[in-house]
Amino acid sequence: MKEFFVIGNQTSSSLSPLIFNHWFKKYKIKARYSYVEVDDIGFDTAVAKKLENKNTTGFNVTIPYKKRIFKHLKTKNVHATQIGAVNCVSVGANTKGINTDWIGYMGSIKNTKIKKSGKILILGFGGAAQAIFYGFSKKKYKNIIVFNRSRKAIKTSGAIRFTKKYSLIDKHLKEADLIINTTPTNPLNRKQTKLIKTSTIISDIVYKPKETTFLKNFKENKKIYGISMLIEQAIPCFHNWFGFSPDVDSELLNKINSKI
């Protein structure tokens, strides 16, 4: 039986096994999807052991190892290389890493009307945030600003850019069309929250709980929940492994909603 899994440091609460095992059953695929929970010391050993297992066919990588997985790969696709992070691996003679996080986030906003000139604020700049920035840049959005607690360089096709300090965010909050929180906490204080207009779309990539501490501050705004990105990034992972895209049916959505 083919084996798949998600590896990271808090994967016991991941909904990826639920999603993929639903699809395996639906399409009568002889495979199982589990999780591997590791710490920094055990990560490389755990990956090496899994790669030696002849049944291991593919896996997902989550925080904080989307960069560290590179050393175990033979090739990476262009998106993973440019983003600098991998979240999906195909195992074989040519073990390959790709990034579907950027596809996942862009898929999660497909039903929103955000202009290419709209102001987009990204809070935090870890692996997922870098993928989101890449997605917006690739789709030719022009006004993306990243705020982070420490100064980080942003990979772009043009001149080098850097993240901005949160101390500079207030004036941008007033003008934002979309605000995306990619941190596990709420990086805005109450005063800053009140600067945001009700027409601003609010997004959080954390999916459990569905209504995060950050999202609870915005009762009148349209929201994009983290679970939509999780589902949307899983679809191209499945396609990468099996050659076709799975349906997101009502049964799967009901299973997911019962868990968040």
**So which residues are the catalytic ones?**
66
Phi/psi region, residue 139 (left: phi>0; alpha: psi -120 to 50; beta: rest), is: alpha
* φ, ψ dihedrals at 249, nearest 5°: -90, 170
Q: What is the C-alpha separation between 195 and 208, in angstroms, rounded?
A: 26
Cis amide prior to 64 (ω within 30 degrees) = yes
Q: What is the C-alpha separation between 189 and 95, in angstroms, rounded?
A: 44
Which letter, b or e, does each residue of 236-250 get, where b requires 16 or more Cβ atoms within 10 Å of its Cβ? bbbebbbeeebebee
Say if residues 178 and 200 touch (Cβ distance below 8 Å): yes
Say if residues 222 and 201 touch (Cβ distance below 8 Å): yes
N- to C-terminal Cα separation, the chain: 30
Tally of CB atoms within 10 A around 211:
11
Q: What is the C-alpha separation between 227 and 210, in angstroms, rounded?
A: 7
